[in-house]
Amino acid sequence: ATVYAALGAAVGRHWALTSLDLSWIPISSAGLELLFEPLQGHPNLADLNVSGSQFELGSALLLGEVLRKSKALRRLVARDASLSPNAIGAVTAGAHFSKNLALLDVSDNKTAEQAADAREGAVAVATAVANLVEANRSLQELCVARCGIDDTASAGQAVDGTVDANAANMATETTDNTDDASVAAEEEE
């Protein structure tokens, strides 16, 4: 654990660092917490990969804080990182406030299997992801493959319904913008 505290402190002070790849080092939740605490507000860290780590809710909450406070983080990859439905909720809640996050990859987290009720876990993940898509306008890539969302029909419907609603809202905004442009073009003539 002292190794991760030292690494976190060093990275937190090294402001030229733009990318940190700690993938497939099986870092415990306690180690992750020691790493994430000093990364909050890092001015230049744009790419963070913690795939293969062992997240618990406390470390996921801190990662959510890193996302919330970071002005530079553009890519977060946490594949196969033992993220439970609540942990994915904590990460996506932090991502709601991120102004620069372009990629979030939480694939291969068997969240439904970790929940007491697989259906409940799938719905929780689907809801967290849907809320993120609705709230975050900088997000360009979202990877949630093999996270249990597809384990139940009701979870799939929840995601499909939300995404369809977002698509409809975007289509309406596009139509409204097109209509505004058409009116402006007619006025110029």
Model pLDDT for residues 97-111, shown as the tens digit of each residue = 888 999 999 999 876
C-alpha separations of 149 from 9, 80, 123, 141, 142 in Å: 36, 15, 7, 17, 13
The pTM is what? 0.74
Q: Are 40 and 9 in contact (CB under 8 A)?
A: no
49-to-52, 175, 189 alpha-carbon distances in Å: 9, 38, 53
pLDDT in tens, 110-164: 765 555 566 677 788 888 888 898 888 899 999 988 877 764 434 344 444 333 3
CB 136 within 8 A of CB 96: yes
Tens-digit pLDDT profile for residues 52-110: 998 888 999 999 999 999 889 999 999 999 888 888 989 999 999 888 999 999 999 87
